[in-house]
């Protein structure tokens, strides 16, 4: 799969997993399926995997796992709080429910710290 596409099966599984979390809204990020909490991006289906924003300490631990790499969409530089989970079978993302929950908690806490929320949502990412 090339870098400008995404795995539609991954999206279907994530729609189910993330749809169970209160407040999660599906959307788009640069044309890719994405997931938001309180108007802030926390996960994105991209290429062969799923980019997820987590606390930096968790990102470091996750990067020790074989199926996790730095999330670098469109060749962007590595980001401290973003990792890409690469599962060959879409259903295996069920194993990462704790990572998604940690992501939602982390991104929600950033909203509280920064005083931001849905009113500050970037509409271009939501189209």
- Whether residue 124 is contained in a domain is answered as no
**pLDDT given at position 115:** 53
Alpha carbons 71 and 79: distance in angstroms, whole number:
7
**pLDDT given at position 123:** 40
- Whether residue 87 is contained in a domain is answered as yes
Q: How many independent structural domains does the chain possess? A: 1
- Whether residue 1 is contained in a domain is answered as no
Q: What is the CATH number of the domain that holds 38?
A: 3.90.1150.30
* Coil, helix or strand at residue 6: strand
Domain containing residue 97: 8-115
Extract the residue ranges of the chain whose pLDDT is less than 70. Answer: 1-4, 111, 113-127
Among the residues of the chain, which ranges form H helices? Answer: 8-19, 56-62, 97-114, 123-126
- Provide the terminal-to-terminal Cα distance of the chain, rounded to the nearest Å: 24
Q: What is the dihedral angle through the alpha carbons of 97, 102, 105, 111, rounded to the nearest 10 degrees?
A: -120
- Whether residue 15 is contained in a domain is answered as yes
**pLDDT given at position 57:** 97
- Whether residue 16 is contained in a domain is answered as yes
């Amino acid at each position: 799969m090339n870098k400008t596409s995404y795995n539609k099966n991954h999206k279907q599984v994530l729609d189910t997993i993330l749809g169970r979390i209160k407040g999660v809204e599906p959307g788009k990020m640069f044309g890719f399926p994405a997931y938001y909490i309180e108007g802030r991006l926390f996960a994105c289906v991209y290429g062969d995997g799923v980019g997820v924003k987590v606390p930096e300490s968790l990102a470091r631990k996750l990067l020790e796992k074989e199926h996790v790499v730095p999330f670098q969409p469109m060749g962007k530089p590595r980001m401290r709080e973003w990792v890409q989970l690469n599962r060959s079978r879409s259903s295996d993302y069920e194993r990462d429910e704790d990572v998604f929950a940690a992501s939602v908690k982390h991104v929600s806490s950033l909203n509280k710290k920064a005083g931001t929320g849905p009113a500050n949502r970037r509409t271009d990412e939501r189209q």
